[in-house]
Amino acid sequence: MTDAYVALEGERVVSARARAPGRTRGELVFTTAYTGYEESLTDPSYEEQVLTFSYPLIGNYGVRSERFESDRVHPRAVVARELTDDVASWLTEEDVPAVDHLDTRELVIGIREEGAMRCGVVAGDDVTPDDALDELAQCTAMSDHTDIGAQVSVDDPVTYNRDGTGPSVALIDCGAKDSIATSLIDRGATVHVLPYDTTEAAIEELSPDLLFVSNGPGDPKNFDATSKLVETYAGEIPMAGICLGQQVIADTLGGDTEKMTFGHRGVNQPVRDLETGQVLMTTQNHGYTVSDPGELNVTQINVNDDTPEGLDSDELDIKTRQYHPEANPGPHDTLGFFDEVLGMVESKSTVSAD
């Protein structure tokens, strides 16, 4: 007896067990992370995707809101070999369909060979394979979600740590994980979380020391308003970016981005720093990559496929990373990025004070 189905491009349907009911569709991707399921499931960058966990057991240390990265679950559906009851009830409460008891190894091999693909997921007592195919037929390609920023960004500005002793940071929220703001606040910064389509007038009023473009879902080319801010302030205000932030900044400053076959999602992606030769273990979640760094210099690369992981410009005071330095979940090798970017502001004030 089966009460769940996943329909894949090519009209293939895989049977599964329903763990949280519902009918939905999205881009099927996988993560190899073996911890951090609460952080991944609340990461806004998974908006409009169906997340498959390649690790076979998900949920074995419960569900605690302290570990959430936003106020809701973002993947449209969740696929795993085995989901615990804790995770299944959380996803049921959140209205996010979830399925297990299917061969996720085969699914992951399919995604690796054919690339991230559209899919339909149905779960519940009365569902049929045709229902899953129906969902698949209505599924939109990721790059066609042109307004995805509006689905995940704050509607209005929010300020944290107003009396902080450190620099003032304008965090452009393209779907920011909470721990990016926390990492800055922990270092004394005042953080203004601003909508992805913030106006120049709002930036002028705040007069921030650092413009920080966050991670976010979908195609970086669908963030025109954010790109406009980058164009206006590059070279005027020191700038940092994480993940989608790196992509939007490179795309705007004479570079380009492209879709990868299946992307990088996991907590053990090796990155080499080209200056020191040091290899850092990093947390990643992206399906697009910078294909041309434009005016920026590639300072770090992925050891597995040589894609750019760090872009820097001393002339423009810009530092971006493709991975997630806030490391939630993940190895903490890369937390120093936050000191480096705040350091750009401090060294700038030292220079101008002289």
Ligand X SMILES: NC(=O)CC[C@H](N)C(=O)O
CB-wise, 122 or 242, nearer to ligand X? 242
How many CB atoms within 10 Å of residue 165?
A: 8
Q: Which of 22, 36, 97, 218 binds ligand X (CB under 6 A)?
A: 218
- Distance, in Å, from the CA atom of 319 to the CA atom of 137, rounded to the nearest integer, reads 41
Q: Where are the alpha helices (DSSP H) in 94-199?
A: 104-114, 129-137, 148-152, 178-185
Binding footprint of ligand X, residue count (CB under 6 A): 11
Site for ligand X in 234-293 (CB under 6 A): 243-244, 285-288
Give the residue numbers annotated as catalytic, written as ranges: 243, 324, 326
Whether residue 247 is annotated as binding a ligand: the answer is: yes
Closest approach, Cβ 214 to ligand X, in A, equals 7
| Spatial contact of 234 and 252, defined as CB atoms under 8 Å apart | yes
Contact status: 45 vs ligand X (CB under 6 A): yes
Residue 28: how many other CB atoms lie within 10 Å: 29
Which CB atom, from 190 or from 246, has the smaller least distance to ligand X? Answer: 246
Give strand ranges (E) for the chain.
4-8, 12-20, 22-31, 49-53, 57-58, 77-79, 82-83, 98-100, 117-123, 158-160, 168-173, 190-195, 210-213, 239-242, 256-273, 279-292, 297-302, 308-313, 318-321
Q: Which of 190, 215, 222, 320 binds ligand X (CB under 6 A)?
A: 215
- Whether 151 has a binding-site annotation, put simply, is no
Which x/- pattern over 70-99 shows residues binding ligand X (rule: CB under 6 A)?
------------------------------
Nearer to ligand X by Cβ, of 19 and 177: the residue is 177
Q: In whole angstroms, how close is the CB of 205 to ligand X at the nearest point?
A: 27
Feature table: binding site:
45, 216, 218, 244, 247, 285, 287-288
